Amino acid sequence: MPDATPDALTNGLLPIASQFVRQGQVTQIQPLGNGNINDTFLVRVDAARTDTCFVLQRLNTQVFPCPQQVMHNIHIYTEHVRQRLVHSPPAESRRWEIPRVLLTQTGQNGWLSPEGSFWRALSFIPQALTVETLQTREQAQEVGFGLGMFHTLISDLPPEQLADTLVGFHIAPRYLQQYETVLAALPETAEAQYCYTFIAARQAQIGVLEQAKQRGKLPLRSIHGDPKVNNILFDKATRQAISLVDLDTIKPGLVHYDIGDCLRSGCNLLGEETDRWQTVRFELDLCESMLQGYCAIANAFLTPADYAYLYDAIWLLPYELGLRFFTDYLAGDVYFKTTYAKHNLARALVQFKLVESIEAQESAIRAIIQALCKG
């Protein structure tokens, strides 16, 4: 939607937002965040002279073909965590928030528009902020702790209770197969050649986590699927992590997908949207703090085998995402939203630079993991 002003964009949304309002009137609708898949808005409602907000989202049904399964998983997750926080909260007590699904006026958990779009609403968590990139070790430690808290709270949620809402998500070898089917369209630019060579040189390693899963070394667990740093909410006053939002990809998987994804997004000071891809690097000190924060709480359920594959996860997830972005660039930008012609190519280059930086610091990263494993 490149040429739509925020107003033009949101005006047509009033009838949709109103489906989720039981009391009061919608006073404002603004775009919220910058997700690559769904469309997200903040809706302000004036009810009985108090101002309240909620989050309105259109689920991308090209990506999530069964919205009801997504809602089912969110329901299972939120109910499980609510119970768990009451009956067996983690030792460390702190503010921890779970978004609530808001129902329509007719009591449904979503609304299907006449054109076939699926809309749903979630409660807005107040007194919170998000960041696009991390700058300090304290923030990194909090992000790690937040992911660890999220995993701990669902560590006793059997993954069989969750539907597979996005088949093949984070199954890295499948992304390689998809890439191979679009390769015929490889443009002869230096950047595309760099990506092609980069992928080819490493593709033998792409199955590292899936093989460990198949051999029974790494168990399927309930996971988040998309814990990028901007999905962590920090308390405005204490700056502690208080929630992990964007719950659409909660499903069975390996915690390694989450750990790798969180580190690849958090340990890159320039962020994944930078156009200065040549200078992207993986920050070792942020990596250390994030893993320390994570293990401080996740140590309770992590096994020695989990630790043994942490480096592979840190290496694989940026490689996988670079591959996904590059494939989408070659396929004509059919999956990730873009705002300019070579956007997905630029994003791929950023991820591949991170991988290079991780490889160059492999022994230092392994030493950090080793120290945590013993600690």
The beta strand positions in 136-240, using DSSP E, are 221-223, 232-235
For Cα atoms 74, 76, 80, give the angle at the middle one, nearest 5 degrees. 115
Calpha distance 273→321 (Å, rounded) = 13
Taking contact as CB under 5 A, which single stretch among the options 101-109, 221-229, 286-294, 364-372 is the one that binds Mg ion? 221-229
Q: What is the rounded CA–CA span in Å between residue 23 and residue 45? A: 9
Residue whose token pair is 């709270």: 153
Give φ, ψ of 254 to 5 degrees.
Answer: -105, 140
- Binding piece for Mg ion, criterion CB under 5 A, among 163-171, 244-252, 261-269, 277-285: 244-252
β-partners of residue 234 are: 129, 241
Other beta carbons less than 10 A from residue 332's beta carbon: 10
Interface with Mg ion by CB under 5 A: which range of 74-82, 89-97, 223-231, 258-266? 223-231
Nearer to ligand GN1, 63 or 81 (CB): 63
Chain contacts with ligand GN1 (rule: CB under 6 A): 35-37, 63, 226, 228, 246, 249, 261, 272, 321
Kindly provide the b/e burial profile for residues 144-155, where b requires at least 16 CB atoms within 10 angstroms of the residue's own CB: bbbbbbbbbbbb
268 binds, among ligand GN1, Mg ion, none (CB under 5 to 8 A by kind): none
Window contacting Mg ion (CB under 5 A); options: 225-233, 286-294, 298-306, 319-327 = 225-233
Q: What angle do CA 168, 246, 265 make, to 5 degrees?
A: 75
Residue from 39, 142, 246, 261 that binds Mg ion (CB under 5 A)?
A: 246
C-alpha span between 304 and 314 (Å, rounded): 16
In the list Mg ion, ligand GN1, none, the entry touching 141 (Cβ below 5 to 8 angstroms by class) is none
7 three-state secondary structure: helix
Q: Binder to Mg ion among 142, 226, 288, 306 (CB under 5 A)?
A: 226
Our CB check for ligand GN1 shows the closer of 26 and 171 to be: 171
Considering the complex, state which of residue 60 and residue 139 has its C-beta at the smaller distance from Mg ion: 60
Cα angle for residues 147, 258, 168 (degrees, 5° grid): 150
> For Mg ion, which is the closer residue by CB, 226 or 235?
226
Cβ proximity to ligand GN1, 169 vs 301, nearer residue: 169
- Report if residue 328 touches Mg ion, rule: CB under 5 A: no
User: Which amino acid does the sequence have at 49?
Assistant: R
Instruction: Return the one option of ligand GN1, Mg ion, none that residue 272 interacts with (CB less than 5 to 8 A, by type).
Output: ligand GN1
Q: How far is the CB of 247 from ligand GN1 (least distance, A)?
A: 11
* Token output for 235: 């308390």
Give the Cα separation of 166 and 179 in Å (integer).
18
Q: CA-CA distances (angstroms) from residue 212 to 201, 255, 299, 372? A: 21, 13, 20, 21
Output the smallest distance, CB 70 to Mg ion, in A: 11
Q: Least distance (Å) from ligand GN1 to the CB of residue 109?
A: 19
The site partner of 63 among ligand GN1, Mg ion, none (C-beta below 5 to 8 Å per kind) is ligand GN1
Rg of the chain over all Cα atoms, to the nearest angstrom: 21
Query: Which residue, 10 or 249, is less far from ligand GN1 as judged by CB?
Result: 249
Quick one: tokens of 27? 């006073």
Identify which of residues 90 and 271 has a Cβ nearer to ligand GN1 in the complex: 271
Smallest separation (angstroms) from ligand GN1 to the CB of 91: 30
Give least dist CB 37 to Mg ion, A: 6
Print the binding letters for residues 278-317 with Mg ion: x by CB under 5 A, - otherwise.
----------------------------------------
Q: Which does 142 bind (CB under 5 to 8 A by kind): ligand GN1, Mg ion, none?
A: none
Nearest 5°: CA angle at 349, between 206 and 129?
95
Q: Which residues bind Mg ion (CB under 5 A)?
A: 226, 246
